[in-house]
Amino acid sequence: MKKSISSEKAPKPVGPYSPAVIAGEFVWTSGQLGIDPATGELVPGGIEAETEQALKNLAAVLEAAGSGLDRVIKTLIFITDMSQFAKVNAVYARYFQEPYPARSTVQVSALPKGAMVEIEAVALR
C-alpha cells in the first residue's frame, strides 16, 4: 500500500507525480529543485541558494510525511556542473549530521526550469 504526500510549504508538482510517497516504513521523495513555494520560481543567488532551497523543500515534504532530514537514509543529487560540487556539498553538510545518509551525485545535461541542482531522498518514517 502506498500513500501520496504533499506539503503547502513545498512547490506543487508540475506533472503527474507525487512530491513523496509513503510505502511501508519508508518515504520516497521526488526530486526537489530550488523553487520558492510562494512564487513557483527558482530562487536567485546561484547553486548555493538553489541547494539551500531544495533542502528546505525536501525537509517540508518529509515533515508532511511524518519524517525529517534526520531520518534520511539515502539521497541522490543531480547537478548540471560537477565543478560546482564543492558548493553543493558545503550547503548539504549544514543539513545532515553523522551518521550521514548514503549519497550519489550525478551530473546531468539539464534540469527542469533551468535549475542547477535537484535533490531527492529516501527516509524512514
Mean pLDDT over the full length of the chain: 97
pLDDT over 90 (residue 14)? no
Band (pLDDT 50/70/90 cuts) for residue 1 is confident
Give me 60's grid cell: 517540508
pLDDT over 90 (residue 66)? yes
Q: In sequence order, which residues have a C-beta less than 8 Å from that of residue 34 and are 6 or more positions away?
A: 42, 43, 49, 50, 51, 52, 53, 54, 57, 115, 116, 117
CATH code for the domain of 64: 3.30.1330.40
pLDDT tens-digit map of 92-121: 999 999 999 999 999 999 999 999 999 999
Distance CA 49, CA 102 (A): 23
pLDDT tens-digit map of 38-57: 999 999 999 999 999 999 99
Tell me, what DSSP letter sits at residue 50?
H
Distance CA 51, CA 77 (A): 10
Domain of residue 81, residue span: 2-124
- Total number of domains in the chain: 1
